[in-house]
Amino acid sequence: MALIAGAALALALSGCASSDKTAGSDGSSSPLSGKIVWADFGGPTNKARYTTYFDDFTKQTGVKVVSEVESDAVANTMLTGGKGAYDAIHVGLDTVYRYKANIAALDAGVARDTNLPANIRDYAFGTFYVGHVQAYLTATFPGGGPQTWADFFDVAKFPGKRGWMGSPGSYDSACEIAELASGIAPDKLYPLNFDVCTKKLNELRPNMVFYTSYPQIQQLLTSKTAAVVAGPSGQAFALKNQGIDVTISWNQAIVAPNVMTIPASAPDMKNIQALAKVFNEPQRQAAFAKATGYGPGNPDAFTSMDDATKAVIVNSPTHTQIVHQNSEERAKQTDDLLAWYTKWLAG
């Protein structure tokens, strides 16, 4: 797969050579050079980006990819029209909808991630899908554990504490989960009804154990502090990689797209547009999925995955009962959503 992907990278770059060269002062063209400043949240996901995308790109072009842990202050400044050092910023798709006016459109030579809605594909690349799921040690429920979000809230039928998101900025799909647990149909979730969400979350609050960073999800499960945890599927995937028998329920798993976006004021625009061409390659997206457990933005990537990888990918064609976040609708409620969850956490 690596050889195929490497060849695809060389072809992608050579096939768009005119856009990957800049005009020198004498009118001649010069190859790409310099760097790209890439802002994401570090950890295994960032490491996987190097092995899957960045390292080969640097070998082919000489352009160094410098990763920084994303600063909200810098990202917000650039997304609202100001200047900053970032060439690419890791965001939720709702952020792209909200700040599209200050985001650069992808060059024509950049293939689009067709799993994204058509009205936003020009402004996002490097898509990966996170599943907001419930997970538990298989041994905790030998007769079968919770499947739906209503089951998650049913501590009488499935006893034990529930690991839950305890940071205001990490509300993830908290309201969607509460609405689904309340019996609201997936196609009726938006606009989010904060009164319904508050009422449902209050029912479970006495049995909640809050985490404030995602790695704590693994600690809550392995220590048996929580019987079931709600959170990103990648955390349960990491436990599986450690040989721990964890069950992930894909029934009503909420699919949330994460993407990279290029601020209009990006300092190294030609370099980042060249790198963006690499990210749609199905073999590379499949390799990234295998390394991280996150789903691809290009549906063709599934043809390059083995069955074991597909089984832990939230937007795999085999998962037929998933629920997709509506990022465009969420974008309209971003401020209200954060204010609501901050207030609810405070009690």
Residue at 16 is within a domain = yes
CATH number at residue 154: 3.40.190.10
* CA gap 125, 279 in Å, rounded: 7
Tens-digit pLDDT string for the chain (347 aa):
433 344 444 444 544 433 444 333 333 344 899 999 999 999 889 999 999 999 999 999 999 999 999 999 999 999 999 999 999 999 999 999 999 999 999 999 999 999 999 999 999 999 999 999 999 999 999 999 999 999 999 999 999 999 999 998 888 899 999 999 999 999 999 999 999 999 999 999 999 999 998 889 999 999 999 999 999 998 998 898 899 999 999 999 999 999 999 999 999 999 999 999 999 999 999 999 999 999 999 999 999 999 999 999 999 999 999 999 999 999 999 999 999 999 999 98
The reply to whether 302 and 341 lie within a common domain is: no
**Number of domain units in the chain:** 2
Q: Give 97-100 contacts, CB < 8 A, sequence gap 24+.
A: 97/327, 97/328, 97/331, 98/331, 98/334
For the chain, the average pLDDT equals 91
| Shared domain check, 43 and 117 | yes
List the structure tokens of 78. 């650039």
Classify residue 186: in a domain, yes or no. Answer: yes
246 domain residue, yes or no: yes
Same domain, 204 and 73: no
Task: Give the CA count within 13 Å in the CB-facing half-sphere of 218.
Answer: 15
The answer to whether residue 72 sits within a structural domain is yes
Domain shared by 37 and 121, yes or no: yes
Q: Looking at the structure, do residues 52 and 63 belong to the same domain, yes or no?
A: yes
Do 112 and 145 lie in a common domain?
no
Q: Is residue 208 part of a domain?
A: yes
Amino acid 8: pLDDT? 44
pLDDT at 31: 86
Same domain, 234 and 121: no
**In terms of domains, do 43 and 67 share one?**
yes
| pLDDT value of position 169 | 80
125 and 136 share one domain? no
Q: Would you say residue 7 lies in a domain?
A: yes
Shared-domain flag, residues 202 and 330: yes
Q: Which residues span the domain enclosing 71?
A: 2-20+32-129+257-309
DSSP SS3 for 205: helix
**Three-state secondary-structure class, residue 225:** coil
Task: Give the pair of three-digit tokens for residue 147.
Answer: 């499947």
Q: What's residue 44's pLDDT?
A: 85
What is the number of alpha carbons within 13 Å of residue 31 lying toward its C-beta?
8
> Is residue 86 within 8 Å of 104, Cβ to Cβ?
no
- Helical (H) or strand (E) element with 73: helix 72-79
Q: Are residues 284 and 137 part of one domain?
A: no
Q: Look at residue 13 in the predicted model and tell me its pLDDT.
A: 52
Is residue 61 in some structural domain?
yes
Question: Does 27 reside within a domain?
Answer: no
Query: What are the DSSP E strand ranges found in 96-185?
Result: 125-137, 162-165
